[in-house]
Structure 1
Amino acid sequence: MPVLNEERHLRSSVRHILEQEYAGELEVVIALGPSEDRTDAIAAELVAETAENPRARVHTVPNPTGRTPAGLNAAIKASRHPVVVRVDGHGMLSPDYIATAVRLLEETGAANVGGIMHAEGENAWEDAVAAAMTSKIGVGNAAFHTGGQAGEAETVYLGVFRREVLEQQGGYNEEFIRAQDWELNFRIREAGGLVWFSPELRVSYRPRPSVRALAKQYRNYGRWRHVVARYHAGSINLRYLAPPAAVCALAAGVVVGALVTPWGFVVPGGYLAAIAAGSLPAGAGLPLAARARIPVALATMHMSWGWGFLTSPRKLAKKVVASRREPVRQG
């Protein structure tokens, strides 16, 4: 578990691991980035509280860069069991997550299995973001957001790995500050390994707590998805191109509307109408305060992702391509 400024959710996230309905022994390895809140103190408390627990103990390792892939590699190196479960500091595993994942690894022969990133909020804004993140108008047909049939996948959320596969591939590429899951799963698949999605696996995810934080998150998503597209030609599709196309169309519509003809405003007006209409089914069953915020969440996600994609610097992709690791086939 790589963490950075996770004081709000860290204790709950670890509790969901320690309370797993799993008969085997567990260990939790937390990679501590340079947090500015009480994350390190909470982690130290968890270490002390589990020191005498014969079944499940918490350990920590330093991650001075704060980068997720570096933290993951440090934590994996410090762990010792044959199955490695990736968890985030704001992710809450369902009670049978590990037991189900181990069973799926055995049944499918997969190198990595993963499931649904089920966003759940704790206030009106987070409820709105959660609704947006689990709707097709928000994220398209991504199975790990919206659900789907079990089967082979390009990548999965978080992941439960066979240690031997991680060691064989040399772990995560630390140049991928984001999208490191996709890059690792790409190498696993290129080496002949199976990546498996199953809706049986479910992780509750706590959305970002503000518009600004959500915008930063999705800008980084778009920025690094463009890096992936440059890293691996042919990996892009229409779902990924929709947000940058929307940003360009909206900008063009505003410019035309302001300088040429008011008809240009039809484009941004149509977009606003579309997300307003799409937020109705997405917000079914939510309080009015949350439903009213869904269009804001959708627009923030779309525009930030698209802007991040469009402004992703080519030099970033060149740096990542230069660090390319070739897939390692067993034997």
Structure 2
Amino acid sequence: MSSCHDRHVPANESVTPEAGVSFVMPVLNERAYLEHAVASVLAQDVAGPAELVLALGPSTDGTTELAERLATADDRIRLVRNPAAHIPVGLNAAIGASRYATIVRVDAHSELSPGYAARALETLERTQSANVGGVMHAEGRTPFQKAVARLYNSPVGLGGGAYHGRTNEGEAESAYLGVMRREVLDEVGLFDETIRRGEDWELNLRIRQAGHRVWFDPSLSVTYWPRESWLRLARQFRATGAWRGELVRRFGRRNGIRYFAPPALVLVVALAIVVGVLQLTGVLSGIASLVASVVVYGPLALYLLLVLAVALAPGGGGLRQKLWTLLVLPTMHLSWGIGFLGGVLRGARDTVDASRLGTRNTPLP
């Protein structure tokens, strides 16, 4: 490929896609992870030309400077600006500047496994699908991050989506990241820029409604590195829940039933607090108090037993990781549920994933 002195390209560059693969990656405050993510992309062996288009948000941790150094060192890397910092805006900017007929979405917090792209392209062709995705396999370094990663990989943590634990290949509701045909994206429209989280689910809904196939292939694996602190995790899950609530407002029961479990937990906890206050003040007593205790505290006790069982189950790591699990699992569920209820009741509005802002990460080894 020819090199150019200015590695930044306009997002609205008019191109006719040709045979080849364009990897697209939105980036914001990912200095600790970007180099590893980029290396995993550049190591992919695909037939024909390939490029990586990075959509750079206004990072404050040196990410932009690192991306520019990487682009200078390898002319397969191209840069576009994403001043809004929103993921779907960045994805659309990168896709708009891309040159090839197959789009592979990549996350800066992820690393593609060797042979990922070649296998995905084979599956895309074999199944005649419009979008193909695989397994999101979370990994961690610290006891906290390992606890989060274990719950990401468990249906108890994130609700059993196909890419968190399904093992059989077949049609799917959505695809993690996604290897997509550019012609289908042009047909149905790119990512909806009014949706800040869950934009992939909404895009795949439109793809399926247009009569195309979304496919899950468990042989495809992407390593994902979760947030590194409790506060960042809680912020991430609250924002994700808020946007799922927004999607429920827009699309109703097209959303799976599993999305309603965390908000149900939040309501049970709130009801338990109310019942407890009424019992302590004597407003609720006698048979009514006993019935309320069974109805409200019973499900809550079962949930706490579930959390304890997950923390103590084999494969839960050392003592510190087990202790973190006791905190992380309720944090994921309650933060997501609180965000969901807010999103359903008043809409997500301008909710953003604050965990991506102003980060100070330790580089990966």
Give the aligned residue type for 1:275.
V
Residue identity matched to 1:243: P
Query: Is contact 1:132–1:279 with CA below 8 Å preserved after alignment?
Result: no
- Evaluate the alpha carbon distance shift between residue 257 and residue 242 of structure 1 in structure 2; reply closer, same or farther with a 3 A threshold: same
Deviation at 1:279, TM superposition (A): 2.5
Letter in 1 for 2:242: R
Counterparts of residues 174-185 of structure 1 (less than 5 Å): 174-185=193-204
Which piece of structure 1 moves more, 222-231 or 186-195? Answer: 222-231
- Tell me the residue number matched to 1:41: 65
* Equivalent residue, structure 1, for 2:146: 127
2:90 aligns with 71
- How far 1:78 moved relative to its partner? 0.8
Write the distance in 2 (CA, Å) between the matches of 1:142 and 1:22: 28
Is contact 1:230–1:317 with CA below 8 Å preserved after alignment? Answer: no
Give the one of 101, 113, 117 matched to 2:132.
113
Partner of 1:305: 336
**1:22 Cα deviation from its structure 2 partner:** 2.8
**Greater Cα shift, 106-115 or 292-301:** 292-301
Q: Is the 8 A contact 1:253 1:266 kept in 2?
A: no
How far apart are 1:210 and its partner, in Å? 0.8
1:326 — aligned with what?
none
**Alignment correspondent of 1:246:** 265
Contact residue 215 and residue 301 of structure 1 kept, 8 A: yes
Cα gap change, 1:147 to 1:237, in 2 (>3 Å): closer
Cα RMSD between the aligned structures?
1.8
Does the aligned pair in 2 maintain the 1:254–1:265 contact within 8 Å? no
Partner residue, 1:60: 79
Q: 8 Å contact 2:234–2:332 — kept in the other structure?
A: yes
The number of residues matched between the two structures is 313
Aligned to 2:46: 22
SS of the residue 1:82 aligns to: strand
Q: Distance in 2 between matches of 1:142 and 1:318?
A: 25
> 1:157 is paired with a residue of what secondary structure?
coil
Distance 1:237 1:104 in 2: 26
1:178–1:224 CA contact under 8 A, matched in 2: yes
| Aligned amino acid, residue 34 of structure 1 | P
Q: Which runs of 4+ in 1 moved over 3 A?
A: 261-270, 313-319
CA gap of 1:64–1:133, structure 2 versus 1, over 3 A, is same
Distance in 2, Cα, partners of 1:94 & 1:131: 19
Larger CA Rg, structure 1 vs 2: 2
Instruction: Give, as a single letter, the amino acid of the residue that structure 1 aligns with 2:310.
Output: G
Residue number in structure 2 paired with 1:276:
308
Tell me if 1:294 matches 2:325.
yes
Structure 1 residues 265, 119: CA separation in 2 closer, same or farther (over 3 Å shift)?
Answer: same
Q: Distance in 2 between matches of 1:24 and 1:115?
A: 22
CA–CA distance in structure 2, aligned partners of residues 259 and 266 of structure 1: 17
- Alignment match, 2:248: 229
Identity of aligned residues (%): 45
Tell me the CA shift for residue 161 of structure 1: 0.4
Contact 2:173 2:204 in 1 (8 A): yes
Residue 91 (structure 1) aligned with residue 110 (structure 2):
yes
Secondary structure at 2:151 match in 1? helix
